[in-house]
């Protein structure tokens, strides 16, 4: 029986099983912390970019980051 060994780079890029669940949990906690009101109050300033308030931009950027991260996790799990 031949078992293919993964290189260290492959293990870092595409973690398996339990490691993937841990990374997904840490990603969820990270997104939760970014959307917590105390952290959002730091961004809640009078500044705006193109007439759009900084807080609105921050929320949208965090939301896009969450979607992109979940998409990346789902793509890596569908390859296995």
24-45 per-position pLDDT tens digit: 889 889 999 999 998 889 888 8
What's the pLDDT tens digit per position in 42-75? Answer: 888 888 888 889 899 999 999 999 999 888 888 8
Q: Is the pTM of this model over 0.85?
A: no
The number of CA neighbours under 13 Å toward the Cβ of 63 is 6
Q: How far apart are CA 59 and CA 54, in angstroms?
A: 9
Distance of alpha carbon 20 from alpha carbon 41, whole angstroms: 32
d(CA 64, CA 70): 10
């Amino acid at each position: 029986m031949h078992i293919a060994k993964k290189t260290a780079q492959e293990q870092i890029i595409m973690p398996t099983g339990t490691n993937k669940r841990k990374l997904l949990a840490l990603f969820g906690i990270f997104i939760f912390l970014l959307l917590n009101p105390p952290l959002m109050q730091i961004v809640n300033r009078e500044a705006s970019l193109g007439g759009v308030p900084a807080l609105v931009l921050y929320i949208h950027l965090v939301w896009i980051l969450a979607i992109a991260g979940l998409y990346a996790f789902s793509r890596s799990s569908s390859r296995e």
